[in-house]
Structure 1
Amino acid sequence: MKISPLQIGNLEIKVPIIQGGMGIGVSLSRLAAAVAEEGGMGIISGAQIGFREPDFLTNSKEANIRALKKEIKKARELSPNGVIGLNLMVAMNNYREMVDAAVESGIDAIISGAGLPTSLPKLVKGSNTKIAPIVSSGKAARLMCKLWDERYSYVPDFIVVEGPKAGGHLGFHLEDILEGKESSLEDILKDVIEIAKQYEKKYQVKIPVIAAGGIYTGKDIGKFLKLGASGVQMGTRFIGTEECDADIKYKESFVKCSKEDIQIIKSPVGLPGRAIKNQFIEKVTNEKEKVDKCFGCLRKCDPNNTIYCISRALINAVEGNVDEGVLFTGSNGYRIDKIVTVKELMQELIREVADYE
């Protein structure tokens, strides 16, 4: 299969791969820049990005904004001509301020999920920043396009369609995932492409639709490109790279884990998630953990009732304290068997797509 660049407005991504945003701290400037240098779109995760700042515990809001600007600047220095994007969760308490900081820093694109980014066009108005919602159904895609069209006379610059095999928080009901009743990425992608076509016709623009969730090999990429996707988003696969910003113990957890170690968990914010089973997951499944410090990171989280602090669990994991943290993963995380460079991984994926028929 011949690979065509992913064109998002005036942005050209030579290899149609978007590296998924992984927080807290799993995909920062080093990983994002490495992917961008190989022709993909590198993504920085904005989730609690300031966790290494000295005043994070006492002033997390300002620490996050400061760190975000630093990471975008570092990524630009490492990849001056690459395409760098940002993943921001709508559920964050400081969402608006983080968008402002990213736009001010000249970020190329913002991808938003964990809620519907209803006000995003207004927040990036007047900038060159491209914006995309993450959707898990045709219904959500139709709602976002209709809302942005009616409120702002704007349509998404691209749409990321995340299926049920993704890592992290999932946009599906827990019962549906456990019972296997959720729609497949293939079916959701087809629905979203049809909705995008309606608005492409109205606005006379191309709205690339990006497939995400469980995509692991070049063969997977080829399959979804053949189904009509303009590109793919891959997160978990990039954890197994030298440039991934997480601690080596975090990466080694993926190399060591088996298919049976990956399970669906209940997040403190009420969403199902997919993670590697470990001591921490077993402990909080049976008993509520005391939350001594609330970071005020997510709007829907109540520190008095939450089963554990998601920020602390994710920070523990990325810093290498893997037995006391949460390691989110896509369904294929167990297939990572070694740590390679981003260059090696991208070249392997490109070869596999080229061989796909």
Structure 2
Amino acid sequence: MDREIRKLNDTLVNIFNTVMKMEEEAIQNASYDDISITEVHTLEAIGTGRARTMTHVANILGIKVSTLTTAIGRLVKKGYVRRFRDETDRRMVKISLTERGTEVVREHEAFHESMIKEALSRIPDDGIDQFVESISNINDFLVMRSSTAYAGEREFKLAPLHLAGNELPVPIVQAGMSIGVAGSRLASAVAREGGLGLIGTSEIGWRAENYERDPLSANLKAIEEEVARARKAVEDDGGKGLIGAAVMWTHKDAGKYVKAAVKGGAQVIVTSAGLPKDLPAYCSDRKIALLPTISSRRAAAAITKTWTQKYNRTPDGFIFQGPLAAGLLGFKESELEKACVDRYKIIAEVKAELGKLENCPLIVGGGIACREDAEKVYDYGADGIMMGTRFVATEECDASEHYKELYLNCTENDVTIIRSPMKTSVRVMKNSFADSLAATGSEDYDIIEAVRRAACGDYDNGLIFCGVSADKVNSIVTVRDVFREFTT
């Protein structure tokens, strides 16, 4: 076995060095002797399409903007790059390739295509798929290793996070559970302990007198008031944590919800259910942290790319809601089992993607019920944790005592998976309604109304979101008790 390991190591090192040498020679042979291969890769990051911002290109390359600025200066002088200010926003500097720069990129792409085709021609047709899969597996390992090499060596400690214009003393986030569960009482209790308390905004105005007549007005008013109430409670008690709002992005009024939360004084906006590609359009204040919830590296990359191109801004952090979480999951039923197996791999991949950004922490949620669970996700790159189920079973939770008792009585067999109207999976407690949905696989129902029925006390015909570890909840404690478990 040692012989095979040495041979593989030598082969990988030789491939890397040989390809780098061949790239240099190919560029020089094409009469571009004034440019290095590193500069060619910079041109590739700029791309042959529309102009990109400096921040966007720096993110792709995984370097600081200041470092890129120096490199771009040289490429501009050599005639490969054009640098200019955006006509619609003079503060924004954009870069694009000149005709000469485009020629270099196309020459380089042709070199790679030719090299790969020639290499694959030496492999039998029936072995190509296995070869590609093996190479992909090695790449997956390297992605994880690049993320966990430093994380695995650090002692577990919930260190403060810098989120936009605010510091989060204790990186524990309380999930923004909607409709009577996560209101100002719970959120302020979490923030008093130094964490991030989130107000669940979906149909938050359901108790208002005008809700049936004008639900939007009732919801917007309730969002603003609940956020303001939570902020005041934290400030009155001298709390150092933050108050935010959780917005389901697929909701037709999501943008209005964000504006209402900002008006109420939200310090953080967290989105879920969908890619919030236009979120910065509804919150231009850069002192307010914007944290999209994602379930894959690809989602993080897509959001970052769009924001840097359209708004010259990157997310202030990401929340990874894994396959073990409660409620809406970012996985289809066919993907869920594999996602559960690959959970830590996905966390590492997301962390590696975020490593391309400056100060972009990763908060991991789903399946975290105890300190050991938190330590495990930290080993794979988490900078903070998010919990929902644990905070439902607290004295300060805004839900009714009867609702909380459902969690105390929940066993492992009481949790099931159903399909959502958004075509993804939902983890809920079993009851007559959930059982019928699970049996038929139906997606034709109003998920918000189903959650509201449960909040109103119709526990058999509503939906009760819960995480995979709901069976581990065995007592009602205080929010402070939860924090002590993870911080002492």
Normalised TM-score (structure 1): 0.87
Secondary structure of the 2:182 match is coil
> What residue number does 1:187 align with?
345
User: Which protein has the larger Cα radius of gyration, Structure 1 or Structure 2?
Assistant: 2
Greater fraction of residues in helix: 2
Return the match for 1:78 from 227, 230, 233.
233
> What residue number does 1:336 align with?
473
Secondary structure of the 1:77 match is helix
1:194/1:35 Cα in 2 relative to 1: closer, same or farther (>3 Å)? same
> What residue number does 2:396 align with?
243
How much does 1:309 deviate? Answer: 2.5
Query: What is the CA deviation profile of residues 111-167 of structure 1, one whole-angstrom value per residue up to 9, with x for unaligned ones?
Result: 112011011112211352110111101111111111111111111001111110011
RMSD: 1.9
Q: Counterparts of 1:1-357 in structure 2 under 5 Å? A: 1-80=156-235, 81=239, 82-126=241-285, 128-177=287-336, 179-180=337-338, 184-200=342-358, 206-285=359-438, 307-351=444-488
Distance 1:248 1:156 in 2: 37
1:180/1:197 Cα in 2 relative to 1: closer, same or farther (>3 Å)? closer
Runs of 5+ consecutive residues of structure 2 not aligned to the other structure: 1-155
Normalised TM-score (structure 2): 0.65
Distance 2:439 2:344 in 1: 36
Distance 1:135 1:328 in 2: 18
Secondary structure of the 2:304 match is helix
Distance 2:376 2:438 in 1: 37
> What residue number does 1:302 align with?
none
Distance 2:344 2:443 in 1: 34
How much does 1:15 deviate? Answer: 1.4
Identity fraction in percent: 36
Distance 2:412 2:305 in 1: 40
Stretch of structure 1 that moved more, 222-231 or 104-113: 222-231
How much does 1:180 deviate? Answer: 3.9
* 8 Å contact from structure 1 (residues 164, 183) kept in 2: no
Query: What is the CA deviation profile of residues 34-67 of structure 1, one whole-angstrom value per residue up to 9, with x for unaligned ones?
Result: 1001111101111111111111112111110011
1:272 partner amino acid: S
* 8 Å contact from structure 2 (residues 421, 446) kept in 1: yes
Stretch of structure 1 that moved more, 315-324 or 38-47: 315-324
Distance 1:231 1:247 in 2: 28
2:327 partner amino acid: G
* 8 Å contact from structure 1 (residues 284, 308) kept in 2: no
1:283/1:83 Cα in 2 relative to 1: closer, same or farther (>3 Å)? same
Distance 2:440 2:471 in 1: 27
1:25 partner amino acid: G
Secondary structure of the 1:322 match is coil
1:259/1:101 Cα in 2 relative to 1: closer, same or farther (>3 Å)? same
Secondary structure of the 1:18 match is strand
2:480 partner amino acid: K
Distance 1:140 1:235 in 2: 22
Distance 2:325 2:361 in 1: 20
Distance 2:183 2:342 in 1: 30
* 8 Å contact from structure 1 (residues 133, 159) kept in 2: yes
Greater relative CO (CA pairs within 8 A, separation 6+): 1
